[in-house]
Chain A
């Protein structure tokens, strides 16, 4: 899959089969649309193109807004889309210029001239251009003279996407990773760099790796303890597919925040005692174990954590 960091980078392809959307999470609702996209591209001997806007201005202006947090980072999204066989992914910033183009100009300049659209797959609720005047009807109106076909995504599928996205977000915020994963079709994960923590875990006999996530727009699951699987250096060109997956438990909470991150994320990796400071790891969330509890004394905390580990092992087996 070719990835473009800006619309300007894209070189027109013959027979571009296009869809436009956020595809946040690339969940089961999205997959229906994407599989239709790749199916059409194959049928007409064209190439599938997804145009996605990132970053969204609202995200830059309101970085604290939880409702704007995304299920996938842009890198995760790209990886997921690549796995689905998409040919081209255009990631372009959404800016005023876009929103000021008239619908007709947008169609001509972007869809036709820039992308070379031969077939566009779009939903009833898709809007574009100045005052959001562009919609599927406008596309159908301008399609014949611009030589492209418009295919409408069934309304049910559009609604399914919205439902899935909402379900996933709500589930993650509550800590219900099982539901989230069911709607995602894969295990929700956090990817980041291991940084030094406050070493409390080590004194309890459960050393932890603190995770720093660079993308501050990534949605973090609700506070609590989770049973997880951990991959260290998953993208390592050196180790490739031989990277091992470890079992562990992750803690997400407000305990002293590290490096200005809004929440603390740390993971205790079972049967593992190596220094992985500054390495990158991927934590897959499989089960919620319990909520965050404040303990009055260290002994009680130790006992609880020992129980948590057993619970995690049972859940992960």
Chain B
């Protein structure tokens, strides 16, 4: 952060000098309900009339928040590199129910009695998931028609050709238990489906669970604490463009 350059301030927040065309890696805090592509689109639009390459380095679902790494210009070449890094998440799962998508994108499709689950059991269940584990990606969200289920195939239990994948969980701890909610923190390799982890966690307890909250706190060495809010960033870029009539000068 360059404190000696007051024209780069946006309110109280100071941005460094950027060269987006040459290539920047931006840490962005993805807003709730935005898709990752929305963030990319918003940022790309902010550079207009300049048409710059912008891409993200690892999807975050709309219902998740937290660190989304955005690369611009030449640094889009490094996206695969960033995508391959380990990630850390914090989140909340709800015990006693499952949903077809394993998160809140779909409604509850089964409920379970949680009255006999103990805190010891919950902490102990983590052990099943440390190290290399096999995961199946979540099946697609349930077929629906304006809230009415109108599918037949999925419910008839037709086999779905999904391949399992090996991922590595280096840390998985429970941080708060207030049933039915359980907060957790996890550090995992790329490609890990946190939704599947939660679903499998519920099964390990002979019960059910779905993901209700998810926040990516870290990707490689980059932390969400250093991330920009999208709209603050967009405002800053607009400010830069106004400082000159040649946007390419300032971007």
Contact = CB atoms under 8 A, between A and B. Distances in A.
B1 interface: no
Nearest to A239: B41
Nearest to B157: A260
A84 interface: no
Contacts of B151: 63, 214, 216
Chain A contact surface mostly: loop
B152 A63 contact: yes
A279 B35 contact: yes
Give the residue among A55, A63, A214, A256 with the most B Cβ atoms within 10 A. A214
Given A74-B145, A215-B143, A238-B34, 14 more contacts: A5-B146, A55-B148, A214-B140, A214-B141, A214-B144, A216-B150, A238-B42, A239-B41, A260-B160, A275-B56, A275-B83, A278-B35, A278-B59, A278-B61
8 contacts: A63-B153, A236-B38, A259-B160, A259-B161, A261-B153, A274-B40, A275-B56, A279-B35
Interface in B48-99: 55-56, 58-59, 61, 76, 79, 83
A75 interface: yes
B13 interface: no
A259 B41 contact: no
Nearest to A258: B161
Contacts, number: 99
A239 B38 contact: yes
Nearest to B60: A278
A275 B59 contact: yes
A275 B55 contact: yes
A108 to B, nearest CB: 28
Given A259-B161, A274-B37, A275-B59, A195 B150 contact: no
B4 interface: no
B139 interface: yes
A305 interface: no
Interface of A: 5, 54-55, 59-60, 63, 73-75, 91, 93, 193, 195-196, 212, 214-217, 232-233, 236, 238-239, 242-244, 256-261, 273-280
Interface residues of B, number: 38
B45 interface: yes
B158 A276 contact: no
A59 B152 CA distance: 10
Contact of A260 (B35, B148, B154): B154
Nearest to A212: B140
A84 to B, nearest CB: 20
B147 interface: yes
B59 A277 contact: yes
B137 interface: yes
A277 to B, nearest CB: 5
A217 B79 CA distance: 38
A260 B37 contact: no
A214 B148 CA distance: 12
Given A63-B153, A238-B42, A75 B143 contact: no
A154 to B, nearest CB: 33
Given A260-B158, A275-B56, A215 B35 contact: no
B45 A242 contact: yes
Interface in B122-159: 137, 139-148, 150-154, 158-159
Given A60-B152, A215-B143, A217-B150, A256 B161 contact: yes
Given A75-B146, A258-B161, A195 B41 contact: no
A74 B76 CA distance: 39
Give the residue among B143, B150, B151 with the most A Cβ atoms within 10 A. B150
B41 A233 contact: yes
A168 B61 CA distance: 37
A274 B53 CA distance: 10
A74 B146 contact: yes
A275 B159 contact: no
Contacts of B38: 233, 236, 238-239
Contacts of B153: 63, 216, 260-261
A276 B37 contact: yes
Given A277-B59, A279-B36, A279-B37, A214 B143 contact: yes
Contacts of B143: 214-216
A259 B140 contact: yes
Question: Shortest 9 CB-CB distances between A and B: which pairs?
Answer: A238-B38, A63-B152, A239-B41, A260-B158, A260-B153, A214-B143, A279-B37, A274-B55, A212-B140
